[in-house]
Copies of this chain bind each other. A is one copy, B any other.
Amino acid sequence: MDHVEAGQVRQVRCLLSGVGHVGRRLLDLVQIKSDYLRTARRLDLLLVGVADSSGAAACPEGLDLAEILARKRKGLGVAGLPGFGQPGRTTLDLVESVRADLLLEASPPNLRDGQPALRWVEAALERGLHAVLANKAPLVHGYSHLVQLAADHGVQLRFDATVAGGLPVINLGQRDLAGAEITALEGVLNLTTSLVLGGMEERGLSPAQALAEAQAAGHAEADPALDLEGWDAAFKLVILAQSVLGIPARLSDVAVEGISLVTTDMLKQAAARGRRIRLVARAERAGGGYRLSVRPTPLPLSHPLAQLTSQQMGVLFQTDVCGEVSAAITEETPMPTAFAMLRDVLDICACPGAGS
């Protein structure tokens, strides 16, 4: 970000990696909120580069967001953007060749090794770009390394959009509970599994029908097994464990069990015992550290997470000196997740050390 006088509008040159459900909403948001951004925040978020699976497009004066969105609605990639698109180029090419302040990483997560996004985020931080992630995978596979890289290069790494969509779970844990000891953390962090369990329980849908509905609403991962088998929730728990609980957790530290064995009968039997089954990600004190698990859990109806509707995600922190804090969000589209990315961008821009 260039140095500007107080009151002047500051240009923030952004690269967007991934133009799926979240990336598209983020472009929507930047348009919807452009007055707020310019007037209240004195910011002009300029999209100087964008990449999707087709390739990339770049323009130092800023690409036309409406044009990109119109193409995506037609199922066309950004590589075909007249005058600016180039097939086969990647986010890495953008990071290496386009002058920018900030990388917005919203490409699909790769469970196995976090690549290629991990490399993209590394390259961005090394070149002095701030990074805002909605993609969980680079954090799961490279959290400590990325935090160190950001510190070494004096830039910020933010990722509030990676856990529970628009709910500021990372902010709550890292910032509002700093200094409190978190004795247990529980979350319903995956919307797809709640939608599937809710659809089975409340409307008698088959798991496949319920999943199809969640996919149609844009909530499910491209590979639904990531949701149903608990991996998406486990990713999020690993990120929380590292960033909020401060432990060097890996995916292999989480005991993971998905919802594929949960039947309508089991849901009914639980209900008859005054319980609701939800896929709960949990960290509880064990020895000097925490025991991590993701599993279908019959919660008593008085439990804050049992009270969530199937459209909600939520989290519960048990603490030593700040009581028991819970928070929940109702997300009918991925717009709040995109908003969480914008929130991170605004936080970065508000920090006095963020510009140059």
A residues contacting B by CB (< 8 A) are 29, 32-33, 36-37, 40-41, 165-168, 171-172, 175-176, 178-180, 302, 304, 307, 309, 321-332, 335-336, 338-340, 342-343, 346-347, 352-353
Contact = CB atoms under 8 A, between A and B. Distances in A.
Contacts of A329: 322-326
Contact of A322 (B172, B175, B336, B352): B336
13 contacts: A33-B179, A37-B179, A40-B179, A41-B179, A166-B323, A167-B325, A168-B172, A178-B346, A307-B307, A321-B339, A323-B329, A326-B328, A352-B353
A322 to B, nearest CB: 5
Contacts of A307: 304, 307
B346 A322 contact: no
B168 A176 contact: yes
Contact of A335 (B171, B323, B324, B347): B323
Given A166-B323, A329-B323, A179 B342 contact: yes
Contacts of A331: 323
Contacts of A168: 172, 176
Nearest to A29: B321
Contacts of A37: 179
Given A323-B336, A325-B327, A328-B304, A343 B32 contact: no
Copies of this chain, tallied across the complex: 2
B171 A346 contact: no
A168 B177 CA distance: 9
Contact of A343 (B166, B176, B302): B176
A179 to B, nearest CB: 6
A335 B32 CA distance: 41
Nearest to A314: B326
Contacts of A176: 168, 171, 343
A247 to B, nearest CB: 15
A327 B330 contact: no
A29 B181 CA distance: 12
A342 B180 CA distance: 10
Contacts of A324: 329-330
A238 B37 CA distance: 26
A332 B321 CA distance: 10
A112 B238 CA distance: 51
A99 to B, nearest CB: 26
Contacts of A322: 166, 329, 335-336, 339-340
Given A176-B343, A323-B335, A326-B328, 17 more contacts: A36-B179, A168-B176, A171-B175, A171-B176, A179-B339, A179-B343, A180-B339, A321-B338, A322-B329, A323-B329, A323-B332, A324-B329, A325-B327, A325-B328, A326-B329, A327-B327, A352-B352
Of A40, A171, A324, which is in contact with the most chain B CB atoms at under 10 Å from its CB?
A: A324
A344 to B, nearest CB: 10
